[in-house]
Structure 1
Amino acid sequence: MSGPVVVGALIRDGRDRVFVQRRSESRSLFPGCWDIVGGAVEPGETLIEALRREILEETGWRLRRTLTCLGRREWEAEGVVHSEVDFVVDVIGDLDAPRLERDKHSCFAWLSPRDIAILDEDARRTGSDFIRNVVADAHRWLRETSSG
């Protein structure tokens, strides 16, 4: 039996930095780790509808457009394999003031390619470089697109 399908939003700003938020220490899954916006696709939702909902719930911003799909990858947590589809997106809203779900996320950051090392500690602690890799993939796509 396949596990849940999840969407992830690599939200970029005008300087091609990528938005990440730190999971609260009280979270059962990956407490205190950096994460991207996203979550499970609910029954009856398309991937884009789920993406739109998750962005609004987790930041208060509205999806403006999807720039690209980075593809589908799998990750495992607590014995459940999740299938995640990640998108690089633009949003509408005050990018300096996301409306974080404070019980779920404690802070946020905008990462340039030089800043990705901030994610290395989580990779060492959890044994997973999933978030680091997806943020790096988003930056790679943004760099290739802007230079092309």
Structure 2
Amino acid sequence: MAARMRVKIARTVGAMFVNSDGAVLLGLRSATKRTWPGYWDIIGGHVEDGESLDDALVRESREEVGLVPRRFKLIARFRERRPEIHGDALHHVYAVTSWQGGDPANVCDEHTELKWFSIGEMLLLKNIADAEYPRFARLAVDAVTFKSSGGQRRYP
């Protein structure tokens, strides 16, 4: 009897940085990227083997925009909607409501541009990596207006 191979599902983390105006930071993915080139996406990437989701969120944020999340909350988890194109993955989206490092900077080749978007502006984007991002952004903005640390993690 042939043994069935178990396919490993990739795990990703994404940061929805929310500023004091309730705008969400998105990056325009470089045309050279394999997944979602030329699309506006949240900040993040793959979780490495043995890495926790929280540690991956901090690492990816630092690598891509030079920020270190300090307060964040998991607001969504979903399977890749187009696995035939992008591979199977389980995505984890976090509202990031406090960070260290000042203003975001495009510190790698992942994105060609960074920009803060209101939820209304996000709804108008034709090239957004996931149509659910505006809904997730509403959850992220609500996490900021909540203001207490109940339910949010603080990263050392």
Give how far 1:79 is off. 5.5
Across the aligned residues of Structure 1 and Structure 2, the Cα RMSD in angstroms comes to: 2.2
Matches within 5 A, 1:84-103: 84-89=91-96, 90-95=98-103, 97-101=104-108, 103=109
Matches within 5 A, 1:1-148: 1-66=7-72, 68-75=73-80, 76-77=82-83, 78=85, 80-89=87-96, 90-95=98-103, 97-101=104-108, 103-119=109-125, 121-122=126-127, 130=130, 132-143=131-142, 146=145
Secondary structure at the counterpart of residue 122 of structure 1: coil
Unaligned 5+ runs, structure 1: 124-128
CA contact (8 A) 1:21 1:37 kept: yes
**Alignment partners' CA distance in 2, 1:74 and 1:116:** 21
CA contact (8 A) 1:37 1:58 kept: yes
Unaligned 5+ runs, structure 2: 1-6, 148-156
Q: How many aligned positions are there? A: 138
* TM-score, with length taken from structure 1: 0.81
**What is the CA deviation profile of residues 56-113 of structure 1, one whole-angstrom value per residue up to 9, with x for unaligned ones?**
00001111111x2112101134362110011101222222x51331x22100110112
Larger Rg: 2
* TM-score, with length taken from structure 2: 0.77
Residue 150 of structure 2 corresponds to none
More helix by share: 1
**Alignment partners' CA distance in 2, 1:91 and 1:145:** 12
